[in-house]
Amino acid sequence: MRALLVVNPAATTTSARTREVLAHALASDLKLEVAETQYRGHARDLAREAAEGGETDLVVALGGDGTVNEVVNGLLTTGPDPESHPRLAVVPGGSTNVFARALGLPNDVVEATGALLDALRDRSERTVGLGLAAGTPGTPDEGVPSRWFTFCAGFGFDAGVVGRVEQQRERGKRSTHSLYVRQVVRQFLGEANRRRGTITLERPGAEPGTTEVTEHLTMSIICNTAPWSYLGNRPIYPSPEASFDTALDLFALDKFSVPAVTRYASQLLASTPERGPRGKHVLSLHDLTDFTLHSQVPLPFQMDGDHLGLRTSVTFTGVRRALRVIV
């Protein structure tokens, strides 16, 4: 099997020695080419070239969720085609590695490499669904290119937290869970739309040609799988039913007062694969194929933990069976 190993040399939890050992282990079973990323978006470019070349059977992403996201977008430049596109494999090297862990992979580079080699020898793979986000026609964001995401997107509060964390990392801070917690508190204290949400959800109605509208949402999280994220080793499940085998799930709140946030934050921390947050201010929707989120004011937007700036409208599509993954 001809394979490309895409390495993010800045990956949080790997060293040069670890990457060398990993490449040597993979090269024993694969006809391997190794490429290190040199700029933001480079992993996408490398994966796109591998897909377009037609000779690569497998692309292995060594890095965090951001690296995986870039590789996926490179593989799917021309759209999903699981039968002809190279397969994807992931070796977790970031601080959280949600996508890899959601696939059931160990969160340790060495153990994950062993699991990958076993899967390759057993020819074990699955085809997963993905989310697609795009600018909405007829809005100021209609020219924004579409982009795939593997496990989550966020419009509003959680994206603001991601943006704050990225700012801190640019200043030299390490990406730790305590850093995220501090930025959650700061984002909440600085939230300007706590009393009346600015987000409107539009989705197809039960009758053909109709639209269902839900207004005044204060935050929104879109999940392609469960869990949504981790706090340390604790998985967080805003949408426990979300799955790689279905379309997208939406978790949203229509109230962001201190008592409401305290209540639902506690429920999130105690969430399980069987039970997520519940209450009169919670909107929880499962297996959505198409929907749009609008905002009266520009809000932060993130995908797979990558802050993408401010948006006023995003259209989401859940695409089943989009990509083959070695597991």
* pLDDT tens, residue by residue, 78-110: 999 999 999 999 999 988 899 999 999 999 988
- Say whether pLDDT at 194 is over 80: no
Lowest mean pLDDT among 62-66, 105-109, 231-235: 231-235
State pTM to two decimals: 0.94
Per residue in 144-176, pLDDT tens? 999 999 999 999 999 999 999 888 888 888 777
Q: For 246-301, write each residue's pLDDT tens digit.
A: 999 999 999 988 899 899 999 999 999 999 999 999 999 999 999 999 999 999 99
| Rounded Cα–Cα distance for residues 230 and 237 (Å) | 9
Mean pLDDT of the chain: 93
DSSP 167: H
- What is the rounded CA–CA span in Å between residue 269 and residue 1? 43
Has residue 177 got a pLDDT over 80? Answer: no
Among 155, 96, 112, 183, residue whose Cα is nearest residue 310: 155
Structural element, H or E, at residue 133: strand 125-135
3-state secondary structure of 21: helix
> Are 254 and 280 a contacting pair, CB within 8 Å?
no
